[in-house]
Structure 1
Amino acid sequence: MSGLELFETERLVLSGWRMDQLDDLVALHGSPNVARYLTVSGAPWTREQAEKSVAHWIDLFETRQLGKLRLTRKSDGAFVGRAGFGIYPPTGEPELGYALFEGYHGAGYAKEAALGLRDWFFANNKGEHFIGMADVRNAPSLAILEKIGMEKTHVEVDHLGLTCQFHIYRLPVHV
């Protein structure tokens, strides 16, 4: 995808990453309040971790049209965070995920991005379902998964060692 716009929601533009935007991800995942639910240690990401992730997301979009995307606000172009679909390593399922700068929490941006991604996923025939999960301590993130219509499935320790509540969203069946 390499920096191209994928789609827009009412207030956001979702676009791919370029390697020259690495500093944005370092700032986002370098925040202790953002990183606390992303790893067992809760440690902010290093530049190397961010670089590996951006390269992976670029490749994932180029090969499968999935990946975590940049979220920018339409009104002023501000970078607010990232959201999109990864591939959950243990199962190979598409997995919805998002992270926003703390200053944008509570403004509805994560829900707006998640709803847009949900609809985009099915409109573009990416599969019959996707999963999402969040650390059991991350109530706001768990609430977003439920607000977009995902069903709780189970709690387990994920591949990174976090105790997560898992959810699933299945393609709606129309009769």
Structure 2
Amino acid sequence: MTDLKVLETERLILTGWRADQLDDLVALHGDASTARYLSASGAPWTREQAESRLAVWMDEFANHRMGKLRVIRKSDGALVGRAGYSLYPPTGEPEIGYALYPEYRGAGYAREAAEGLRDWLFRETDWTHFIGFADVRNAASLKILRSIGMEPTKVAVDNGMECQFHVLRKAV
């Protein structure tokens, strides 16, 4: 098997997903508190939805060395959630996103992963910018986007939700 590690931060390791890790994704996105800001319905993902997304992320990882990645805590190997980039379908731009299991929220892991991803993208790829967005009611996620230097651009509907979009451009 190839090395699935993409990057490492002070406390975290981010790796690609494997098909045999589907149950981890079902547990994460099957949680109502995680799913509430991922779609207009706020419904937890079914196993089939998780399987479909996992296939997309594995494909993005294999073909672009990006995609949403597993976020693992170094100190004990615990899976704390997922973070990474997807290619935003309407524009093809990298779009940063993250979600953590409830018990790991509030410890700075999402921000640390987002900072690492920001630095990795500009260091390891030819991309000159990336976007991010969150439901306008998701104050915690919006705070993370701003904290890594992203600038608000517009409010628009995505996946049935009113979202605040952001962009971060590589300094030249």
Distance 1:2 1:145 in 2: 31
Query: Is the 8 Å Cα contact of residues 71 and 80 (structure 1) preserved in structure 2?
Result: yes
Aligned to 1:100: 100
TM-score (norm 2): 0.97
TM-superposition CA deviations, 1:49-105 (whole Å, max 9, x none): 111111111111111121000001000111100000001111111100000011111
What 5-or-longer segments of structure 1 have no aligned partner? none
Aligned to 2:162: 163
Distance 2:149 2:48 in 1: 35
Aligned to 2:78: 78
Alignment of 1:118-157 (within 5 A): 118-157=118-157
Distance 1:75 1:116 in 2: 17
TM-superposition CA deviations, 1:130-169 (whole Å, max 9, x none): 00000000000000000000000010001x1111000000
Count of matched residue pairs: 172
Stretch deviating more after TM superposition (77-86 or 3-12)? 3-12
What 5-or-longer segments of structure 2 have no aligned partner? none
3-state secondary structure, aligned to 2:149: coil
Query: Is the 8 Å Cα contact of residues 114 and 148 (structure 1) preserved in structure 2?
Result: yes
Distance 2:125 2:54 in 1: 24
Q: CA deviation at 1:6?
A: 1.1
Alignment of 1:30-49 (within 5 A): 30-49=30-49
Percent of pairs with identical residues: 65
Closer, same or farther: CA 144–2 of 1 in aligned 2, 3 Å: farther
Distance 1:150 1:111 in 2: 12
TM-score (norm 1): 0.95
Q: CA deviation at 1:3?
A: 6.7
Alignment of 1:47-66 (within 5 A): 47-66=47-66
Aligned to 2:9: 9
Q: CA deviation at 1:2?
A: 6.9
Query: Is the 8 Å Cα contact of residues 2 and 58 (structure 1) preserved in structure 2?
Result: no
Q: CA deviation at 1:14?
A: 0.1
Instruction: Give the CA RMSD over aligned residues.
Output: 1.2
Query: Counterpart amino acid of 2:94?
Result: P
Query: Counterpart amino acid of 1:164?
Result: C
3-state secondary structure, aligned to 2:63: helix
3-state secondary structure, aligned to 1:99: strand
Query: Counterpart amino acid of 1:108?
Result: G
Distance 1:57 1:90 in 2: 17
3-state secondary structure, aligned to 1:44: coil
